[in-house]
Amino acid sequence: MDMKSNIIFCDVDDITRKHLQDHKIGEKFNCTILQESLNDLSSDALRKLSNVEIISTFVYSRLRGDILENFKNLKLISTRSTGYNNVDAEYCKAHGIKVANVAGYGEITVAEYAMGMLLSLTRNIGFSNNKLRNGIVKVNGDMGIDLSGKTVGVIGTGAIGRHFVGLCHAFGCHILASDPFPNQKLIDDGMCDYVDVSHLLKSSDIISLNCPATKENYHLINKNTIDQMKDGVYIVNTARGELIDSVDLYEAIVAGKIRGAGLDVLDYEDVIIKNDIEALKNNDKNFALYSVINAKLLQLPNVILTPHIAFNSSDAVLRILNTSIQTICDFIEGKSITFVI
């Protein structure tokens, strides 16, 4: 491929834009830099970009087949994230479009964030802070629990989950883990015990989701799996929103089955994160239902919601951008890179 390949960088914030400018990306490629997500563009705008060969995207662009079909010359989608479930994998496979992600940029970053959420939940830190700001002091009402001695269930022990296990171990937790590919080093170091998901759900005081979203684990946390959990369990999800059925989660929290939840991701999160009212108008009934439920979750005092920012430390963002740019350059130069699709 020519070094003057046609590339779209979408979902570009100010930090990303400055980084691209500092690295003189416009001199290397024929670049279109967009603040918007591709699925927010009009049909006319998409047609004007039809000669694009490479798309660099973040998680906010939903690259469905009806979007991708506008780019007849598309050869590579480079996601500025580890997850790539926002990309239509079947369409890409059928049309020979390669997909590359950023593996390993923020495993410590996201694990630390998950631990921060867990501490805030179990000790009511954010709730107590908000009450004090409103002149309410009620010490007994803010009583939490110790992490030491608690059983933490970690679903997914890839790069992020592995670091989260280490953090929980440092707090004196007993850790159960579930993963189709157990980490032998964690086993050898005595950091966790691998069990099946059912055993983990029944035995854990705290459950953390650290696995990718797949067709097989869609709504892994649902009414049936919640019923298997201990009463008063805490749930933390910094992975993907599709892992939890928000309706069942909300009902379980209101009923007291789940004592608290820390959620950096939500199923159908676009309305809250992007204020995407048009998406609410144009999507299916599930989109409307889950958007309402997500708004109701936001009102619960024992739920911490953040807008998909567990990755967002200055160190991790720089690693993402540097790796993404290098991946694109390597692809254009015909060098060997790892594709996820």
* Residue 240: active-site member: yes
Q: What is the spatial distance between Cα 17 and Cα 229, in angstroms, rounded to a whole number?
A: 45
Catalytic residue among 80, 163, 240, 259: 240
Nearest to 208 by CA among 257, 173, 172, 183: 173
CA atoms within 13 A on the CB side of 81: 21
Structural contact between residues 55 and 11, judged by C-beta atoms closer than 8 angstroms: no
CA distance 285 to 304: 26
Active site residue 269: yes
| Contact predicate 97/91, CB 8 Å | yes
Rounded to 5°, the CA angle 269-260-271 comes to 15
Active-site residue, 308 included? yes
> Any idea which residues carry the catalytic annotation?
240, 269, 308
